[in-house]
Amino acid sequence: MPDPHKLSPVERIKTASDGLRGTLKESLTDDITGAIKEDDQSVIKFHGMYQQDDRDRRQERSEKKLEWLYSFMIRLRLPGGFITAEQWKGLHHIAGEHSTGVIKITTRQTIQLHGIIKSDIKPTLKSFDTFHLDSIAACGDVNRNVTCSAHPKQSKVHEEVFAYADQISTMALPRTRAFYEIWLDKEPLTNKEEEKDPLYENRYLPRKFKIAIAIPPNNDVDVLSNDCGLIAIIENDKLIGFNITAGGGLGTTHGNSSTYPRLGTMLGFCEAGEKTLKVVYEIITVQRDFGNRSDRKLSRLKYTIDNMGIEAFKKEVESRCGFAFETPRPYAFTERKDYFGWNVNHEGKWYYTVFVESGRITDNENGSLKTALYEIALTGKANFRFTCNQNIIVSDIQDRDRDEISGLLEKHGVIATTSGSSAMRKNSIACVAFNTCPLALAEAQRYLPTLITKIEPLLARHELSDDEISIRMTGCPNGCGRPTLAEIGLIGTAYGKYNLHLGGDRNGLRLNVKYKENLEEADILRELDVLLGSYSKEREIGESFGDYTSRKKIVQHV
């Protein structure tokens, strides 16, 4: 265990970074390598980017006496996952020009572009800037992209709730102007006082920090997996406030028993407006001041809370706020899903939710989704919203434009894919993993689609083809695809091997538990065949697969 008084190396990098500038400018002009300096690799995350390399190519490049194929992944900051048609056009071209071309929707409602080489970072960010898009704090030890229920049909107050995502995101942005100086060539500040940061000081947070806003009854954002969760309380079509949770987080490390997934704990109700913002702000400051800064494996808020005790933590937040939480208001999550296909909201505007397998927007043999979205953007008659299930909603369409948009979706095979995919496929999530994720132990998004193709016949045999069983796969136990909140969780342990987790519920309210370790494909299929068979025969009416495996004590919850 690291010495609790000794700061982790990243802490030094942060405080020495001169407002997250580091030596990025030097790193960028160093043309001998496609990489940046090691310290800058930590700093650049705060600007929404990761240095990566194509892991498929490592060995071959080394033999050729070439360095690894370094490139950068850029993650946009898109609170609530909303972008306009105009912005989509920009995004489309930027992706084509500087990245692999695939626009990847993440599990936190934003998009990532991969494969951007060092010299293209600035042009990319400058182009984004012209469309009022940025990647500030999309990664790093700060508050990340704030997610929010994506489906406007949910409630009349959707827009009002949605606005909180933006406000919180802005409130918790680092004050430094480094992003503008380094990437957009803006003049450096003459008065550094202007960027003094009362929230982050010069140390930022001990670790990443995530906030989500859910509008019951849909838990599409998986609110309990966040460091801070806001559950909108709506009475008589009016937003009155939020039930606030804290301490969610899913990542674990294989073989490190001090790490564990944890669902957010309910703190209480807080009325809408300034008070909500204040509570969120102070939860962040408590984590800033109490979080573990020596061991990054144990520094998320979930561990801070468990160390302090929930009551002590709550007291600390309340005392910083100057007011107390009220008793949580009743709410119920009865679903966690995207409403695929056409839907209409209270104003009569239309929405089409597209199923995007693993969130990868591209043109392929299943249709030309990327072109379809671009052509829709060209009409200027729709906006776009991303969901936390890696899907996209073509949204805000006037009644008179619906046929035109529908025609474009039809023409490019989008509707066929969305309506033709199986229930399990549409309820699947896979993280990025290979070839870009440096932490991946096994494949995920490149593999889950074929695995599902092999599970589908089993489902058919057991007459479960329409059952919306949630299946999630990640390449490692960090949990980017929230696999511990799935009915079938597959967590990579080594290339081609996965732990099978069972017993989670369908709505993201109960963690699953490891059932079997290190399964290869054949084992997975064999296990699932048996489990699905008995589920099909023995389930109670309306009982989900997750609830069934839990009730049958196929796995033991602790």
Binding site for ligand SF4 (CB under 6 A): 431-433, 437, 439-440, 444, 474-476, 478-480
Alpha helices for 131-209 (secondary structure H) = 158-171, 178-184
Q: Which residue in the list 77, 153, 207, 210 is annotated as catalytic? A: 210
Distance CA 39, CA 164 (A): 34
CA distance 450 to 20: 42
Residue of the chain from 17, 110, 176, 544 that contacts ligand SRM (CB under 6 A): 110
- DSSP string spanning 329-341? PP----B-----E
Tell me the Ramachandran region of residue 417: left when phi exceeds 0, alpha when psi lies from -120 to 50, beta otherwise: alpha
CB of 33 to another protein, least distance (A): 6
Residue 543 CB partners (closer than 8 Å, separation 6+):
551
Question: Is 431 a residue of the active site?
Answer: yes
Quick check: is 476 catalytic? yes
Burial of residue 309 (number of CB atoms within 10 Å: 0-12, 13-18, 19+) = exposed
Q: Would you call 210 a catalytic residue per the annotation?
A: yes
Check residue 66 for interaction with another protein (CB under 8 A): yes
For position 225 contacting ligand SRM by CB under 6 A, the verdict is yes
Asked if 501 is part of the footprint of ligand SRM (rule: CB under 6 A), the reply reads: no
Q: Round to whole Å and give the CA distance between 233 and 78.
A: 23
Q: Does 67 bind another protein (CB under 8 A)?
A: yes
Crossing angle of helices 274-290 and 158-171, rounded to 10°: 40
Q: Is 206 in the site for ligand SRM (CB under 6 A)?
A: no
Instruction: Please report whether residue 29 would count as binding another protein according to CB under 8 A.
Output: no
Show the site string, 386-425: x = touches ligand SRM by CB under 6 A, - = not. Answer: ----x-----------------------------------
Nearest to 184 by CA among 222, 247, 133: 133
How are beta strands 49-53 and 70-75 bridged, if at all? antiparallel
CA distance 221 to 81: 11
Does the annotation count 437 as an active-site position?
A: yes
Burial of 450 (0-12, 13-18, 19+ CB in 10 A): exposed
**Member of 1, 3, 32, 193 binding another protein (CB under 8 A):** 32
Closest distance to another protein from the beta carbon of 64 (Å): 5
Q: Considering only residues 44-63, where is the footprint of another protein by CB under 8 A?
A: 60-63
Concerning whether 144 is annotated as a catalytic residue, the answer is: yes
Query: In angstroms, what is the minimal distance from the CB of 438 to ligand SRM?
Result: 5
Active-site residue flag, 208: yes
Q: Distance between CA 421 and CA 116 in Å, rounded?
A: 32
Q: Whose Cβ is closer to another protein: residue 117's or residue 199's?
A: 117
- 320 lines the binding site for another protein (CB under 8 A): no
Strands (E), 28-75: 49-53, 70-75
CA angle 262, 44, 32 (to 5 degrees): 135
Interface with another protein (CB under 8 A), residue from 5, 64, 537, 553: 64
Would you give the binding string for another protein spanning residues 88-117, x where CB under 8 A is met?
Answer: -----------------------------x
Q: Which of residues 137-166 bind another protein (CB under 8 A)?
A: none
Strand pairing class (211-214; 147-148): parallel
14 is a contact residue toward ligand SRM (CB under 6 A): no
| Angstrom distance (rounded) from CA 514 to CA 478 | 15
293 noted as active-site residue: no
Determine, following the binding rule CB under 6 A, whether residue 293 of this chain makes contact with ligand SRM: no
Burial (0-12, 13-18, 19+ Cβ within 10 Å), 494? exposed
Partner whose binding site includes residue 474, from another protein, ligand SRM, ligand SF4, none (CB under 5 to 8 Å by kind): ligand SF4
Q: Which of 59, 119, 258, 319 forms a contact with another protein (CB under 8 A)? A: 119
Question: Does 207 participate in catalysis according to the annotation?
Answer: no
| Closest to 386 in 3D by CA, of 95, 91, 108 | 108
Shortest Å, Cβ 459 to ligand SRM: 24
Span of 64-72, 236-244, 464-472, 495-503 interacting with another protein by CB under 8 A = 64-72
Contacting positions for ligand SRM (CB under 6 A): 50, 52, 73, 75, 106-108, 110, 112, 144-145, 208, 210, 222, 225, 249-251, 300, 359, 390, 431-432, 436-439, 478-482
Tell me the catalytic residues: 75, 144, 208, 210, 431, 437, 476, 480
